[in-house]
Amino acid sequence: MTANNRIVLSSDHAAIALRQAIAAHIASLGWEVVDIGPTTPESTHYPKHGQAAARRVASGDCRLGIICCGTGQGIMMAANKVKGIRCGVCADTFSARMIRQHNNANMLSIGARVTGEGLALEIVEAFLSAEFEGGRHAMRVDMIEAVEEKPQAESV
Ligand code: RB5
């Protein structure tokens, strides 16, 4: 069941303020926000937060996910280890739109130490308002999923 309006948000300690700004912004746009923290500033570990958000998306509980850490990179890597997750780090609105339209990304990652809040909110809007185009892109996304089933598949 993926036809819901729910967006899961998570971060590590480096991106709490940005995550909370994103949560408030998308709630004001009408999205249902599932913010799974953390809420306290102690140092924590991005892999567990990335995977926790990714599991909400992979299970269908949430339609899309937005995750943040210092660079956006580590938490993205962790999320992408969960089967069915396609997460990209974006620092520009064009990429945020294209990872939905061409790659059918179901998660977006942003680096709080890389991207300022104003641009980050525009990136989030670009991601959430774009739709997968299907067509020739669907076959390529299927090829990504095939790697999950058969990691030793022959290369080109
Ligand atoms: C935490 O210091 C930092 O390593 C983390 O937020 C992130 O940038 C890792 O990819």
Is residue 102 part of the annotated active site? The answer reads yes
Beta strands in 12-149 (DSSP E): 32-35, 64-69, 87-89, 107-111
Pick the closest to residue 78 from 106, 46, 44, 103 (CA basis): 46
pLDDT at position 72 is 98
Report the separation in Å between the CA atom of 25 and the middle of ligand 1, taken as the mean of its atom positions.
23
pLDDT tens digits, one per residue of 34-63:
999 999 999 999 999 999 999 999 999 999
pLDDT at position 2 is 45
pLDDT at position 26 is 98
pLDDT at position 150 is 83
Is residue 49 part of the annotated active site? The answer reads no
pLDDT at position 1 is 42
What does the alpha-carbon distance between residue 99 and residue 145 come to, in Å, rounded to a whole number?
Answer: 15
pLDDT tens digits, one per residue of 115-144:
999 999 999 999 999 999 999 999 999 999
**25 pLDDT exceeds 60?**
yes
pTM to 2 decimal places: 0.95
User: Is the pLDDT higher at 71 or at 153?
Assistant: 71
pLDDT tens digits, one per residue of 70-126:
999 999 999 999 999 999 999 999 999 999 999 999 999 999 999 999 999 999 999
CA distances from 45 to 21, 23, 89, 111 (A): 21, 20, 18, 15
Q: In a 3-state reduction of DSSP, which class is residue 90?
A: coil
Q: Which atom of ligand 1 is nearest to the CA of 113?
A: 8
Query: Which one is catalytic: 62, 68, 69, 87?
Result: 69
69 lines ligand 1 (CB under 6 A): yes
pLDDT band at residue 154 under the 50/70/90 scheme: low
Domains of the chain (ranges plus CATH)?
A: 3-149 (3.40.1400.10)
